[in-house]
Amino acid sequence: MTKKYALVVFLFLFLIISTYYISSGVDGTVFEVRAVNSSCNYKVKEIKEEGKNYVIGGYIPDTEYEVLNKKVNNITIDYINDFKENIEGLTPLSEDAKFELQFTFNSYEMENYISFEIEIYSYTGGAHPNTLIETVVYNKKENNFVTIEDLEKLDNNILNKLSEYSYNKLKQNKILIEVNDEGMLKDGLKPDDENFDKFVFSDEGLIVFFERYSIAPYFAGDFSILVPYDVINLNI
């Protein structure tokens, strides 16, 4: 059964059974780790750091699998380092304002696979914040990760299948109909690796995520689509 937990649900619906702290090794950042009473075999790390002109916060998973934890932590650390580099020497627009970096995630489980969709909210003083998406698909049995290149090895026509299915579904989306940018939609759904490299495995099918700007203008938001496994015939 798919396990998908927004962090708001973690904080308010599950019983917190323990709390402790560990150092991330990145400029003194401290992670608060909260073990929650859930059926998933992982805990939740709360990221907390505040500087003179910035605040970093949010949540990432902490599992029993060392290689998976390392992957998620490296993603987090890279975003933290890039964020700090981008705001170095900058001043927020007002005395009360601060630059901001936030992490949240959703989790999915399917047979031997654990998948995480990590959402990164970043505000560094531009016209609007940036919202980015990273996905991690981990094979517990093989102790490795699954990428879009791996899916292509299983089916060398998978990009064409994903492109066609996604276009036929998303062109019916009410928001995208209102946006009416056919060129941007088609370009973002071309059968290229980078257009379909953000995905997770769920019980219902492959879920593909599209960041803001990828298939529509920023104001339209981000999108996801569920592709049934029988559409792509993956033997996973």
Instruction: Give pLDDT tens digits for 107-163.
Output: 999 999 999 999 999 998 877 789 999 999 999 999 999 999 999 999 999 999 999
Can you read off the two tokens belonging to residue 41? 């075999």
118 lies in the same domain as 185:
no
State the CATH number of the domain containing residue 183.
3.90.640
125 lies in the same domain as 159:
no
Domain ends where: 145, 165, 199?
145
In angstroms, rounded to a whole number, what is the distance separating the alpha carbons of residues 223 and 166? 11
State the CATH number of the domain containing residue 129.
3.30.565.40
The pLDDT assigned to 23 comes to 35
In angstroms, rounded to a whole number, what is the distance separating the alpha carbons of residues 224 and 205? 12
The pLDDT assigned to 40 comes to 55
The pLDDT assigned to 36 comes to 40
87 lies in the same domain as 23:
yes
Pairing of strands 144-145, 130-139: antiparallel
Domain that includes residue 206, residue range: 148-232
The pLDDT assigned to 131 comes to 93
The pLDDT assigned to 37 comes to 35
The pLDDT assigned to 211 comes to 96
Domain for residue 2, yes or no? no
In angstroms, rounded to a whole number, what is the distance separating the alpha carbons of residues 37 and 39? 7
The pLDDT assigned to 42 comes to 77
Using CA atoms of 193, 214, 188, 204 in order, give the dihedral in degrees to the nearest 10.
70
Domain ends where: 116, 145, 174?
145
Domain ends where: 145, 180, 198?
145
The pLDDT assigned to 149 comes to 97
Considering only CA atoms, which of 113, 156, 105 is closest in space to residue 134?
A: 105
The pLDDT assigned to 93 comes to 78
Phi, psi angles (nearest 5°) of residue 128: -160, 165
- Given a cut of 70, the residues of the chain with pLDDT beneath it are 1-41
137 lies in the same domain as 164:
no
Give the Cα-Cα-Cα angle 45, 49, 54 (nearest 5 degrees).
135
Give the Cα-Cα-Cα angle 57, 59, 65 (nearest 5 degrees).
135
The pLDDT assigned to 125 comes to 84
The pLDDT assigned to 119 comes to 96
Query: 185, exposed or middle or buried, with CB in 10 Å at 0-12, 13-18, 19+?
Result: buried
How much of the chain is in helix, strand and coil states, percent to nearest 5? 30, 35, 35
The count of structural domains within the chain is 2
